[in-house]
Amino acid sequence: MISRANLLKVLSAFLLCGAWEIAGRIPVSYAFPTFLDSMRAFFEMIGNGVMLAAYKETLRPLVIGIVISAVLGIGLGLWVGLNNFFDWLFSPIFIVMQAAPLAALIPLLVLAYGIGLTSKVLVVCIMAMPVIVLNTSGAVRNTPESFKEMGKSFLASRTSVLLRIVIPAASPVIFAGLRLGVSAGFIGAILAELKITPTGVGDIITYSRSIADYPSMYAAIFSIILLAVLFLNLLEKIETILFKGNQRGYVSD
């Protein structure tokens, strides 16, 4: 049985692809291929192993960067959220990071860390981490006072209050931050490959554009979007499994 929500998701994907096909046929621009052409290129690249080889390259900085951002970001966010002094010390840094024009910072990163993996991981982190930290710290700071009071009155230790009350209460906003952070991390990974050295998926994009093979270029872009969507859905699944009752939001009356 397909649930209503899933049906709607499929429907909206279908509409989007349809619109793409129509826009490609008009065409909006000679550099804009139709959906079907792009799909043909997409499956071709999967078939001849180009896509797999590209993702081996791209996924490394992406996965490393996202794992670092998630672990460090949530940790820092908890710390900043629970402590006013660290909030005062660190929050401005992340706010600036979030607002910084990354493209302008990339040359500086390359200067400092070269064109290898480190720079690319850093780009992913700079994109992904601020929103994770800011969401986590904000959520932690807004834990309903009545939950904490309840915990204290039933003799919960400080650790128990944190693990059993503060973190679960903050989890919807933390997960929202993770979702935004992961999407930003995907953008960061591609940006790094376009701006630092063309490797992986970024290489497919750069190369196919240079030889005017637009279906391949859009197939590469499509693949990264597809991967991001799949990953975000996975994240959502994890969230519902971990914190089941949170789905319906909070009850308070």
Partner 1 sequence: MAMSQIKEDSNQTEVVKSESAVSVKNITKNYGDIEALRDMSLEFPRGQLTSLLGPSGCGKTTLLKIIAGLLEPSSGYVEVNGKSVTGPGPDRAFVFQDFALLPWATVLNNVAFGLEMRGVAKSERESIAEKYIGDVGLAGFENSYPHELSGGMRQRVGLARALSVDSDVLLMDEPFSAVDEQTRRKFQEDLLSLVQNENKTFLFVTHSIEEAVYVSDQIAILLPRPSRVSEIIRPSSFRGKGVDNIRRDPEYLDIVDDIWSSLRTYVE
Name the residues that contact partner 1, by CB under 8 A: 146-147, 149-157, 160, 164-165, 168-169, 171, 243-246, 248-253
Closest separation in Å from C-beta 167 to partner 1:
10
Give, to the nearest 10 degrees, the angle between helix 167-195 and helix 117-141.
160
Could you give the CA distance from residue 7 to residue 2 in angstroms, rounded to a whole number?
Answer: 6
Complex with partner 1: residue 3 or 146, whichever CB lies closer = 146
Closest separation in Å from C-beta 99 to partner 1:
33
CB atoms within 10 A of CB 73: 27
Could you give the CA distance from residue 74 to residue 167 in angstroms, rounded to a whole number?
Answer: 10
Complex with partner 1: residue 127 or 167, whichever CB lies closer = 167
Burial class of residue 143 in the structure, from the number of CB atoms within 10 Å of its CB (0-12 exposed, 13-18 middle, 19+ buried): buried
Cβ atoms of 142 and 198 closer than 8 Å: no
Closest separation in Å from C-beta 133 to partner 1:
23
Closest separation in Å from C-beta 146 to partner 1:
5
| Residue whose C-alpha is closest to residue 220's, from 55, 34, 62 | 55
Complex with partner 1: residue 26 or 253, whichever CB lies closer = 253
Token pair, residue 174, equals 């933390």
Complex with partner 1: residue 61 or 151, whichever CB lies closer = 151
Closest separation in Å from C-beta 151 to partner 1:
8
Complex with partner 1: residue 79 or 147, whichever CB lies closer = 147
